[in-house]
């Protein structure tokens, strides 16, 4: 099938590449010329394991093209994905201006033939109908330019197809989804979407081919939009729940890792997303929980639970500071080394990373902050990182530190020579913000280990 994906970020690029990989003919559009240039040369503008290799093979097979020409993409695609960003505005509301610009652009370029316009971006409830209206506005503007009351015939439906991939495992998640959600009032559109995803639904690209097909949840537009917000809000709540339990464990002397295992094996609860630590961050949980709160506010509904979840998460990010103060007392004049900066491992994404709040607070308290991150140290990403010295090797990070804080659980941090690092340090404190490191080994190496809820 002929597909156009508009917006080539973490979601759009992965979607475009994976759809090309399963045999569709895909054009990816972005208005960022630099990105287009890079992708045309076979390079991915984001770090996502496996993405560059898959992208290059699709380019070689000639079923993946990149362009900044929206008209080219719209005319090509029978299915048009909108996958641009929907960041949070300062009041928590979702900023839909990029979706609006794309919808308008689609309307201005819509050619003949039936098309499905897919909201892949996470958008506020009601955006399906709103996108339809904006597309039609674009069509009307073109009619005005034609003059003489000329009409342009267009035929399209809007589908909400929320995305559930996680950064760092985006390709795996795309080929092995737990479900595919399709929200629309049109059977024709739903059937085309099922045809598009057929190889995935039939697990032809899945790691486990157990004979079952992937569940497809067909809903109305509004419910599909709500499923996305509800899923992210539930997962954020689950993490905040275990973080709250961890904080109580710290008081009473229980071990949250054992507690998480003990409750997680109850199939009604499940073991996933029970990793206690410094809280959730990233480009989606924070903004999506805030957006849902904002939507409920519009209806004068007080979302006490989600507001508490956000408050708790804000506190959780700074829990490592409390732990450092317990051990070092005064942070002014101390040198703190951060292991990891990105909001989670296997990504270069720094959006709303807990490290940013930790750096800000440590700096406010007068500490000097250094950091080593496998991706940030290599690529020199500087966004939001003005108050931290980025070290390019782990021994330079350890040098003269009063304490180390593990912020992001990169696999390579399991294999560091901690004994050698300790020799370089001023003090032996290590705060494991993700309960990730081997506590016994670190103690043997001479560290004073502090976890979360241990």
| Residues labelled as active-site residues | 284
Residues that bind ligand NAD (CB under 6 A): 6-12, 29-32, 35, 83-86, 98, 101-102, 121-122, 163, 165, 167, 283-284
Instruction: Give the span between the Cα atoms of 338 and 345, in whole angstroms.
Output: 14
The listed partner (ligand NAD, ligand UGA, none) that binds 74, CB under 5 to 8 Å by sort, is: none
Q: Which is nearer to ligand UGA, 122 or 377 (CB)?
A: 122
Find residue 117's DSSP bridge partners: 80, 158
Cα gap 115→309, rounded to integer Å: 40
The nearer residue to ligand UGA, 156 or 229, going by C-beta atoms, is 229
Min separation Cβ 260 and ligand NAD, Å: 24
| Least distance (Å) between residue 173 CB and ligand UGA | 7
Least distance from ligand UGA to the Cβ atom of residue 436, Å: 10
Minimum Å distance from CB 238 to ligand UGA? 8
The C-alpha atoms of residue 276 and residue 264 are separated, in whole angstroms, by: 13
Q: Which lies closer to ligand NAD via its Cβ, residue 78 or residue 95?
A: 95
Instruction: Note whether 407 and 431 are within 8 A (CB).
Output: no
At its nearest, how many Å lie between ligand NAD and the CB of residue 159?
15
Transcribe 129-147 into DSSP letters. HHHHHHHHHHHHHHHHHH-
* Cα–Cα distance, 204 to 72 (Å, whole number): 30
**Which residue ranges make up the site for ligand UGA (CB under 6 A)?**
122, 163-167, 232, 235, 239, 273-275, 277, 280-285, 343-344
**Helix, strand, coil distribution of the chain in percent, nearest 5:** 45, 15, 40
Measured in degrees and rounded to the nearest 5, phi and psi for residue 292 equal: -65, -40
Residue 280 touches which of ligand UGA, ligand NAD, none (Cβ within 5-8 Å per kind): ligand UGA
Separation of alpha carbons 67 and 48, rounded Å: 21
**Partner from ligand UGA, ligand NAD, none contacting 29, C-beta within 5 to 8 A by type:** ligand NAD
β-bridge partners, 286: none
The closest alpha carbon to 411, from 340, 352, 353, belongs to 340
Work out what residue 85 binds among ligand UGA, ligand NAD, none; the CB cut-off runs from 5 to 8 Å by kind: ligand NAD
31 binds, among ligand UGA, ligand NAD, none (CB under 5 to 8 A by kind): ligand NAD
């Amino acid at each position: 099938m002929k597909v156009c994906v508009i917006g080539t970020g973490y979601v759009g690029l992965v979607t475009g590449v994976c759809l090309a990989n399963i045999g569709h003919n895909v054009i990816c559009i972005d208005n960022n010329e630099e990105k287009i240039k890079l992708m045309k040369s076979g390079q991915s503008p984001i770090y996502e394991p496996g993405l560059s290799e898959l992208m290059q093979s699709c380019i070689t097979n000639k079923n993946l093209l990149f362009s900044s020409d929206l008209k080219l993409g719209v005319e090509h695609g029978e299915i048009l994905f909108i996958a641009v960003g929907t960041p949070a505005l300062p009041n928590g509301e979702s900023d839909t201006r990029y979706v609006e610009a794309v919808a308008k652009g689609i309307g201005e370029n819509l050619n003949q033939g039936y098309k499905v316009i897919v909201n892949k971006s996470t958008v506020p409830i009601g955006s399906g109908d709103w996108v339809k209206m904006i597309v039609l506005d674009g069509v009307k503007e073109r009619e005005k330019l034609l003059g003489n009351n000329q009409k342009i015939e267009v035929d399209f439906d809007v589908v909400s197809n929320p995305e559930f991939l996680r950064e760092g495992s985006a390709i795996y998640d795309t080929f092995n989804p737990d479900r595919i959600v399709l929200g629309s009032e049109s059977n024709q559109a739903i059937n085309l979407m099922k045809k598009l995803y057929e190889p995935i639904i039939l697990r032809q690209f899945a790691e486990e081919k157990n004979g079952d097909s992937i569940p497809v949840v067909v809903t109305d537009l509004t419910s599909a939009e709500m499923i996305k917000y509800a899923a992210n809000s539930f997962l954020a709540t689950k993490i905040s729940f275990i973080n709250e339990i961890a904080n109580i464990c710290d008081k009473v002397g229980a071990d949250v890792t054992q507690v998480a295992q003990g409750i997680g094996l109850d199939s009604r609860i499940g073991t996933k997303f029970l990793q206690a630590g410094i809280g959730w961050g990233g480009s989606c949980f924070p903004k999506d929980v805030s957006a849902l709160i904002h939507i409920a506010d519009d209806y004068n509904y007080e979302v006490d639970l989600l507001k508490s979840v956000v408050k708790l998460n804000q506190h959780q990010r700074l829990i490592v500071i409390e732990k450092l103060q317990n051990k070092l007392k005064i942070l002014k004049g101390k040198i703190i080394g951060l292991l990891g900066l990105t909001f989670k491992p296997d990504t270069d994404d720094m959006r709303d990373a807990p490290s940013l709040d930790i750096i800000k607070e440590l700096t406010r308290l007068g500490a000097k902050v250094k950091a080593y991150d496998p991706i940030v140290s290599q690529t020199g990403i500087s966004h939001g990182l003005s108050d931290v010295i980025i070290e390019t090797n782990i021994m330079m990070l350890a040098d003269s530190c009063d304490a180390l804080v593990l912020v992001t659980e990169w696999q390579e941090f399991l294999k560091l020579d901690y004994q050698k690092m300790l020799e370089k340090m001023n003090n032996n404190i290590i705060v494991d913000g993700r309960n990730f490191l081997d506590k016994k080994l670190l103690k043997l190496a001479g560290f004073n280990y502090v976890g979360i809820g241990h």
